[in-house]
Amino acid sequence: MIRRKRGTLFVISAPSGTGKTTIIKRLLSTFDDIYFSVSYTTRPKRNGEIEGVDYVFVDEKTFKDMVEADEFLEYAVVYGNYYGTPKRPVLERIERGIDVVLDIDTAGAMSVKEKVEDTVLVFIFPPSIDTLVERLRLRGTESEEVMRKRISQAMVEIERSNIYDYWVLNDSIDRAFEELKSIVIAERCRRKRFELWGI
Amino acid sequence: MIRRKRGTLFVISAPSGTGKTTIIKRLLSTFDDIYFSVSYTTRPKRNGEIEGVDYVFVDEKTFKDMVEADEFLEYAVVYGNYYGTPKRPVLERIERGIDVVLDIDTAGAMSVKEKVEDTVLVFIFPPSIDTLVERLRLRGTESEEVMRKRISQAMVEIERSNIYDYWVLNDSIDRAFEELKSIVIAERCRRKRFELWGI
C-alpha cells in the first residue's frame, strides 16, 4: 500500500549540561534500527573512553587528509582539536532506509541541514538557565573563567535553537525521552518519506 | 525557558473501513487534554447515536442559517445530507492552547488546511486495497451498487492522501495508534509552536 523511500537523518543538539547524552543513549537502546554516527576527533582519548564508540581517534594529519578528500559531512575546530562527522557511513545508511542520529553542535547542525535533504533538527533545552549553570558548576573542577566561557557558549547555542525543527524541554528525563522518541516515530510517518506502492 | 503559543488542529481522514474511529477513540482516551470537535448534521439520528456525542443533529433550516452566518469551518453535502464543522468551538480552543481533533474527509481537510494556519493532516491507510474491500463487504448489508460506490469513493480519498502531512498504515491497530500518538506529541514539540520565555 505505502512504503518508505529512505532513512532519516536526525541531528540532536543541546547546550552542555542539558542531559543530552543520557537521552540519546536511551533512544538508541529503544530503537535497534537507528545508527548512531560516531565522530572523528584529533583530541587525545580520555580515561574510560572507547575507540570507535565515543570517538574514532585520529592524528591531525589523517584528519586533514580526510578533509581534503571531502570525507566529512561537517567538521569544526574546538579549543584546538578537530571534530568531524564522516560522510559515507551516514549517507549510505540513509540510502538503505536506515535512520541515523548525529550528536553535534548548532554550527555543525546548520551545515548538515544544508547538505542533507529533509534532515530533522532537534534541540534539547535545560529546564532553566539557572539549572544549566548549576549543573555545569556541579560537573566541573574547572576555573571560574572556563565556567564563564561554557555558560556563554550555552547561550550562543540557545540563540541558534530557532533554526531547529523541534524543541524538547528536559525538565523530566522521562518526558524528554518520550518526546524525542515520538519525534522519531512521527518523522518516519511524514508523507514526503513515503511512496504509494502496489496499487 | 520555552512555552507553547497555541494549540494545534489535527485533521484525521481515512477511507471508510480503515479503522479510523477505533484509533481516534483510543487517542482521546489517552489524552485528556485534546478536544474532539463534534460535527453538525442534518441527517436523521440512527439507532444508538447520541446527540452531541456522535453528531449535533439539526434541521436543514438551522444548518443553512449557520452557513449564512459563516459559522462553519467547512461543510459538505453527502447523499443529500449536510455535515459541518462548527468554527467557534475549534478556534477558541486553539487560541486557549488546547489541541483539537477533527474526523472529516479529504475535501473537508483541504478547506480546513487553507483556513487554519499550521493544521496537521493525518491520513490513515488500510493494509491493502483487498483488505479494505473485504472490510466494507463484511460491514454491509448493502447492495452491490452501493458497495461499488463506496470502493470508488475510497480510491478518491487515497488519491488525495498526497496533500496530507503524515501517513499512517493501519496494518496493526497498536502500531497505528502508537504512530498517531507520536504525531500528536511530536507536533506539540515543533519549534514554530513555541516561544522563548523568561530569559
Enumerate residue ranges in chain A where pLDDT < 70.
140-141
User: In which band, very low, low, confident or very high, does the pLDDT at B16 lie, cut at 50, 70 and 90?
Assistant: confident
For an interface test with A, the pick among B10, B190, B191 (most A C-beta atoms closer than 10 Å) comes out as: B191
Using a CB-CB cut-off of 8 Å, the residues of chain A touching B194 are: 167
- Look at residue A194 and give its three-state secondary structure: strand
pTM for the model: 0.93
Nearest to A169 among B2, B128, B161 (CB): B2
Residues 6+ apart with CB under 8 A from B180: B12, B23, B27, B122, B124, B168
Q: Which domain holds residue A175?
A: 2-196
**Does some domain include residue B173?**
yes
State which amino acid sits at residue B49: E
**Does some domain include residue B181?**
yes
Q: What is the pLDDT of residue B131?
A: 87
B26 inside 8 A of chain A by CB: no
For an interface test with A, the pick among B167, B177, B180 (most A C-beta atoms closer than 10 Å) comes out as: B167
**Does some domain include residue B74?**
no
Helices (H), chain A: 20-30, 60-68, 87-95, 106-115, 129-139, 144-159, 173-188
Report d(CA B121, CA B162) in Å as an integer. Answer: 10
Cα dihedral B94, B99, B104, B110 sign: positive
A152 inside 8 A of chain B by CB: no
User: In which band, very low, low, confident or very high, does the pLDDT at B157 lie, cut at 50, 70 and 90?
Assistant: very high
Q: What is the pLDDT of residue A141?
A: 64
Q: What is the mean pLDDT of chain B?
A: 93
Using a CB-CB cut-off of 8 Å, the residues of chain B touching A166 are: 186, 189-191
Q: What is the pLDDT of residue B165?
A: 97
Q: What is the per-residue pLDDT across B85-113, written as a single tens digit (0 to 9) for each?
A: 999 999 999 999 999 999 999 999 999 99
Beta bridge partners of residue B2, listed in sequence order: B196
Q: Check pLDDT > 80 for residue B199.
A: no
Q: Structural domain tally of chain B?
A: 1
Torsion, Cα B85 B89 B92 B98, to 10 degrees, reads: -90
**Does some domain include residue B50?**
no
Contact A28, A103 (CB under 8 A): no
Contact B123, B162 (CB under 8 A): no
Q: What is the pLDDT of residue B140?
A: 67
Please give the distance of CA A67 from its chain centroid, rounded to a whole number: 20
Q: What is the pLDDT of residue B188?
A: 96
**A140-144, B3-7, B166-170, range with the lowest pLDDT:** A140-144
Q: What is the pLDDT of residue A140?
A: 67
Q: For residue B122, what is its C-alpha cell?
A: 493525518
Q: What is the pLDDT of residue B198?
A: 76
User: In which band, very low, low, confident or very high, does the pLDDT at B133 lie, cut at 50, 70 and 90?
Assistant: confident
ipTM, 2 decimals?
0.92
Q: What is the pLDDT of residue A151?
A: 86
Q: Can you tell me the mean pLDDT for B23-42? A: 96
DSSP B124: E
Contact B3, A171 (CB under 8 A): no
Q: Report the CATH number that the domain containing residue A171 is assigned in CATH.
A: 3.40.50.300
Q: What is the per-residue pLDDT across B33-89, written as a single tens digit (0 to 9) for each?
A: 999 999 999 999 999 999 999 999 999 999 999 999 999 999 999 889 999 999 999
**Does some domain include residue B55?**
no
Report d(CA B37, CA B94) in Å as an integer. Answer: 12
